[in-house]
Chain A
Amino acid sequence: MKCDICNKPAVVHEVTVKNGVTKEIHLCKEHAEEAGVAMPTHQPINQLLTQFVMSQGGQSSESSRKSCPGCGTTFSQFRQTGTLGCPECYDAFEEQLAPLIERAQNGATHHRGKVPKRAGDSLDRTVIIRQLTKELDQAVTAEQYERAAELRDRLRHIDETPASPQITKQAKRKAKRPPKKD
């Protein structure tokens, strides 16, 4: 493939599709530099993370220590591995994640695809169960047994309404968990 301007081999190839019209540009190194054609490259998430952290300066250390209430993952752990700890991390780190996701996803900021039929139901349920089990843990630790029994009943009630197997299992597992010994 030759350069659009001269006869040298093209090293930069740009294809843009706008309103259904495709435009191709092929340029040699010199003409590409001259034209200032920058290649929009897709960067792996780890690279984005490093750049992001650097651009945040001193602010990053404080926010890096913040951990997800769902699984305890910190933002700096996410930076190291590139994977989040649990679905709740998206909420916990929303502020830091949003610009990252936007860059990794070619500027997209919101989901526009399919929505699961039971989404609303499951989201509410998870939040309630999470809150109740947290309170239950606290009550057991503080030896407030009456309160704990009440919370356990409420969890059991959620348990009895039809739900997916893993939510009820998760609730049961947490409700059964023995009190923590410090």
Chain B
Amino acid sequence: MEFASKGSWLSEGGPEADVVMSCRVRAARNLVGFPFVARASDAERHELVHIAKQVVLDSELGQEMIWVDLAKATSRDRQLLVERHLISRHLAEADMPRAVAVSEDETLSIMINEEDHLRMQLIAPGFRLAELVEQIEKVDETLEQKTDFAFSSRWGYLTACPTNVGTGIRLSVMMHLPALKLTNEIERVRRAAKDLHLAVRGYYGEGSESAGDFYQISNQVTLGQSESELLEEFVQVVLPRVIDYEHQSRKILVERNTNLLDDRVHRALAVLRSARLLGAEEAMKHLSRVRLGIHLRRLQDVQLDVINRLLLQIQPGHLQLHIGADLSPDRLREARANVVRKALR
């Protein structure tokens, strides 16, 4: 599998990039005339992959899409796609006919036979939800010209799980909240999110831990609210609030806890520069603090884009791609420390 050297959504800053790492919009759709994926036979799943391939590649999008048959892809390639946030872990690990279409610039991916027949997703760096919602509508309409999606006038787009029914749209924002974590105020975000019916998840979404103070905030309600109302709530209410919480905490750190802040930031950089063995979680934690240090101008000689790139390069799939072989956990820690040391020299 050919890949650019970096995930496009990690490369540029984008608006509010000190707190908002990236934004994602996902739409769940199912084809008329088939059972949902879990209930479908293997023959039907094969047929779904076949039809989806035709629909996607024959559409206007076809030209820029790369088709990956995930049942045939190596586990290393699948891991790479997960690390790039182009497929879910669930899809990577499933044992059935399944595929993904990825745009050349890695902003759009269409997963086939995830929980729903099609899950289309757009991802971009920084705070760009509005653009993404507009784009996903276009993708949806382009595919709709070639196929029929299951829809009912009462429930909207019909999905395998009723928690996605309606618009089938999930907005999620990856936020970097190190100051809220350092000041033990992260619970405040969790509670506020809960009240607004939002989910707070870890770096890789559902079921994952919040590695390196990165949190994904997404809507849980998909029914009874139009796409634009949902977007407005996110853009006007939810995100500014969380960004503001984090900024307040950063200000408190700089003004009242300078020593603690500088200790954490410089200590993190020192570990990254000298470690010979680095676990993924440990690396994420320190990179997160260095990232904070850069944004608060506590560190002068480290570039933000180096740190952003490292966040991806230290993941197991990317390390293995870099080395060109499958690595044992010990060798992975060693390779990770080498990559980090070299980048921060």
Contacts and interface: CB of A to CB of B under 8 A. Distances in A.
Contact of B162 (A70, A104, A164): A104
Contacts, number: 181
Contacts of B224: 105-112
B1 interface: no
A61 interface: no
B30 A87 contact: yes
Interface stretch (A39-47, A140-148, A149-157): A39-47
Interface in B168-191: 169, 185, 187-188, 191
Interface string B152-170: 1111111011110111010
A164 to B, nearest CB: 4
A112 B196 CA distance: 19
Contact of A111 (B31, B35, B38, B156): B156
Nearest to A163: B148
A122 B156 CA distance: 13
Interface in A102-143: 104-119, 121-123, 125-126, 129
A15 to B, nearest CB: 5
B288 interface: no
B34 A86 contact: yes
A164 B148 contact: yes
A181 B163 CA distance: 40
A86 B117 CA distance: 11
A71 B160 CA distance: 13
A126 B33 contact: yes
A17 interface: yes
Contact of B51 (A42, A123, A165): A165
B39 A122 contact: no
B309 to A, nearest CB: 35
A22 interface: yes
Interface residues of B, number: 60
A166 B152 contact: no
A41 B199 CA distance: 11
B55 interface: yes
B225 A100 contact: no
B197 interface: yes
A42 B34 CA distance: 31
Contact of A14 (B150, B152, B157, B195): B195
Contacts of A90: 152, 155, 158, 165
B151 interface: yes
A134 B105 CA distance: 46
A81 B197 CA distance: 23
Most A C-beta atoms less than 10 A away, residue of B39, B149, B229, B237: B39
B42 interface: no
Given A105-B224, A107-B224, A113-B166, A119 B38 contact: no
Contact of A42 (B33, B115, B220, B227): B220
A35 to B, nearest CB: 15
B147 A165 contact: yes
B115 to A, nearest CB: 7
A91 interface: yes
B192 interface: yes
Contact of B160 (A84, A107, A170): A84
A77 to B, nearest CB: 9
Contacts of A40: 194-195
A12 interface: yes
Contact of B32 (A101, A117, A166): A166
Interface of B: 30-36, 38-39, 47, 51, 54-55, 115, 137, 140-141, 144, 146-158, 160-163, 165-167, 169, 185, 187-188, 191-192, 194-197, 199, 220-227, 229, 237, 241
Given A111-B152, A113-B166, 9 more contacts: A84-B162, A105-B222, A111-B156, A111-B157, A111-B224, A117-B144, A118-B148, A123-B151, A126-B33
